[in-house]
Amino acid sequence: MISAHFGRAETFTIVDSETDEVEVVPNTSEHMGGTGLPPELIVSKGAHIMLVGGLGPKAVQMFEQFGIDVFVGATGTVRDVISSWKEGLLEEATDKNVCSEHRH
């Protein structure tokens, strides 16, 4: 299931859209007692698109700097979210649709 807030997700699921290979990566960022920030972990895995339930503006800015497109509004399973994105049902992250508080 998709976490309601990106930075607090226990794991991140990386899906290769060409091979359908799946990798589940533990969130070892400072949000979970580790080091670094979640976008840094995601970019190190070679991601180009991020599908999330919600995230803060700082994370969106970091993803933009890394050249990763972010889409918000994801709910359900990873498979559900990928289908929603392919159908154009997720919104690209903007200043108006990101979380202003981190209480998720």
Alpha-carbon distance 89 to 43, whole Å?
24
Domain ranges of the chain: 6-92
Reply yes or no on whether the pLDDT at 30 is more than 70.
yes
Alpha-carbon distance 63 to 56, whole Å?
11
Homologous superfamily in CATH for domain 6-92: Dinitrogenase iron-molybdenum cofactor biosynthesis domain (3.30.420.130)
Dump pLDDT digits (tens) for 51-77: 999 888 888 899 999 999 999 999 999
pLDDT at 103 (0 to 100): 43
pLDDT at 99 (0 to 100): 67
